[in-house]
């Protein structure tokens, strides 16, 4: 994936003109300087607000267009007559109120600008005015909470980024699954993402138009980088996978897709004589893939990627223990998530044929989510835990050599909570712990979060 653009934040200091020691300028500059060290921010400085006139001037000076969030530094006791009009004028922006702490002087006392009074003086008025915000406070004599501010900022930027995301599905409703569909109007209105559908014939026609030299180059890459277990694939099979992969890549470019799903069992395997597993693998680092027309799965991918900037994929639950779950996927895994040698094998179940990925999956901390709708209410089920190497297993209908890419995920929460709330068999997954960022994102989107860690 391309490097994430910087978070664009407006930053304003709130205070009281009756204080003569320049607290607002000094403290706001300190917070800004500490955040700039992360390299993640581009700031738009807003004139300080210490009275009504300055509040009006700040409204005139600040253009929120292109901003991801507004960082409001409560540097001291404040004049609400100036602060509230400015905050109301920008209430459509994700807003973080950050109250700073006093400092102990050499004489042994805390010199306090009273931000601990300034912030509580506007919190309830902000809530009553319908301003969406979150609040952080800084205890006396402590450093700027750079990490926590950054977590909120990533979620705020994700809200903006989602407006440019497009999900693409070849076909619709594979195997009549109940858990994979989502209303595209809800997707747009709640999450900001757009959906696009295309046909198998479109893929087939583009595959037929792929030049032989171009397909040969991809075949050569497959032969060089992948170890195929058991029966070696024929050149015709490799050519078929290569031409279809290049066709799918072209559709991704043309439709500007961030995530993609291909009709699998009742689509490519039944009517195009090719399993889509290796195709999904080869595009999966650049356009996040999920099989079986899983619209909710694609949404989960872009949500996780928007807060983490990590490659997202899907896994499916297979076995339940008291403390962990076996998650795997039959024949697909993005190359960046592969541990060690890339491994594949021929998949032949008459009349189907294609290439499956049977590589090992990386381990480590993971965050998994599943968007869904219950009773008309959009929700997200989140699970965190530690992915460890899976014990040897084989799904019915498959055989050795090689097994599905998989891990056992040792849950942070309980299995009971998981099964009491699990909305589907597929989960989107990324490496790392992004629970805080996802919690902020759900709050900003107005989506109910189901998470045992809350």
Q: Report the C-alpha gap between 267 and 246 in whole angstroms.
A: 18
Q: What is the CATH number of domain 7-161?
A: 3.40.50.2300
Q: What pTM did the predictor assign? A: 0.93
Q: In the chain, how many H helices and how many E strands?
A: 15, 23
- The domains of the chain are located at 7-161, 165-450
> What letters, b where the CB count within 10 A reaches 16 and e where it falls short, cover 73-106?
bbbbbbbbebbbbbbebbeebbbbbbbbbbeeee
| Length of the chain (residues) | 454
> What letter does residue 359 receive in the DSSP assignment?
P
Cβ(100)–Cβ(73) below 8 Å: yes
Per-residue pLDDT, 3: 43
Taking only the tens of pLDDT, the chain with its 454 residues reads 334 589 999 999 999 998 867 889 999 999 999 999 999 999 999 999 999 999 999 999 999 999 999 999 999 999 999 999 999 999 999 999 999 999 999 999 999 999 999 999 999 999 999 998 999 999 999 999 999 999 999 999 999 999 999 999 988 777 677 788 889 999 999 999 999 999 999 999 999 999 999 999 999 999 999 999 999 999 999 999 999 999 999 999 999 999 999 988 777 888 888 889 999 999 999 999 999 889 999 999 999 999 999 999 999 999 999 999 999 998 999 999 999 999 999 987 665 578 999 999 999 999 999 999 999 999 999 999 999 999 999 999 888 898 999 999 999 999 999 999 999 999 999 999 999 999 999 999 999 999 997 6
CA–CA dist 412, 384 (Å, integer): 6
281 exposed, middle or buried (CB, 10 Å; 0-12, 13-18, 19+)? buried
At residue 16's C-alpha, the angle toward residues 14 and 20, to 5°, is 120
Q: Give the pLDDT of residue 271.
A: 80
Element (H, E) at 33: helix 23-36
At 351 the pLDDT is 57
Rounded to the nearest 5°, which phi and psi values hold at 353?
-155, 145
What was the pLDDT predicted at 309? 95
What is the spatial distance between Cα 154 and Cα 437, in angstroms, rounded to a whole number?
Answer: 7
Tokens 């872009």 -> residue: 302
Considering the domain 165-450 in this protein, what is its CATH number? Answer: 3.20.14
């Amino acid at each position: 994936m391309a490097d994430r653009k910087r978070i664009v934040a407006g930053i304003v200091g709130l205070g009281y003109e009756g204080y003569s020691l320049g607290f607002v300028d000094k403290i706001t500059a300190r917070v800004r300087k500490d955040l700039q060290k992360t390299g993640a921010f581009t700031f738009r400085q807003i004139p300080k607000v210490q009275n009504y006139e300055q509040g009006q001037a700040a409204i005139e000076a600040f253009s929120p267009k292109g901003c991801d969030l507004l960082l409001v530094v409560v540097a001291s006791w404040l004049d609400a007559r100036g602060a509230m009009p400015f905050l109301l004028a920008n209430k459509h922006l994700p807003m973080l109120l950050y109250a700073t702490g006093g400092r102990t002087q050499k004489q042994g006392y805390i010199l306090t600008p009273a931000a601990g009074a300034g912030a509580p003086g506007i919190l309830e008025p902000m809530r009553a005015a319908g301003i969406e915000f979150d609040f952080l406070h800084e205890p006396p004599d402590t450093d700027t909470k750079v990490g926590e501010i950054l977590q909120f900022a990533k979620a705020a930027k994700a809200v903006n980024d989602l407006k440019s995301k497009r999900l693409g599905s070849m076909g619709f409703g594979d195997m009549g699954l109940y858990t994979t569909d989502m209303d595209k109007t809800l997707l747009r209105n709640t999450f900001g993402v757009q959906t696009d559908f295309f046909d198998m014939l479109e893929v087939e026609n583009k595959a037929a138009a792929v030049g032989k030299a171009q397909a040969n180059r991809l075949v050569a890459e497959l032969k060089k980088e992948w170890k195929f277990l058991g029966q070696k694939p024929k050149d015709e099979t490799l050519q078929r996978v290569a031409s279809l992969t290049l066709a799918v890549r072209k559709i991704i470019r043309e439709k500007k897709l961030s995530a993609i799903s291909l009709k699998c069992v009742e689509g490519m395997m039944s009517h195009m004589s090719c399993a889509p597993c290796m195709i999904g693998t080869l595009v999966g680092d650049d356009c996040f893939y999920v099989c079986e027309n899983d619209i909710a799965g694609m949404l989960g991918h872009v949500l996780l990627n928007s807060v983490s900037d990590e490659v997202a994929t899907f896994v499916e639950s297979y076995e339940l223990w008291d403390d962990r779950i076996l998650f795997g996927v039959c024949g697909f895994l993005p190359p960046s998530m592969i541990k060690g040698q890339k491994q594949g094998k021929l998949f032949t179940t008459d009349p189907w044929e294609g290439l499956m990925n049977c590589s090992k999956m990386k381990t480590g901390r993971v965050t998994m989510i599943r968007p869904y709708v219950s009773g008309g209410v959009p929700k997200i089920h989140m699970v965190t835990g530690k992915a460890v190497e899976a014990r040897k297993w084989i799904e019915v209908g498959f055989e050795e050599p090689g097994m599905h890419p998989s891990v056992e995920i040792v849950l942070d929460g309980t299995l009971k909570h998981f099964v009491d709330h699990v909305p589907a068999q597929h989960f989107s997954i990324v490496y790392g712990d992004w629970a805080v960022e996802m919690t902020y994102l759900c709050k900003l989107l107005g989506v109910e979060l189901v998470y045992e860690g809350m």
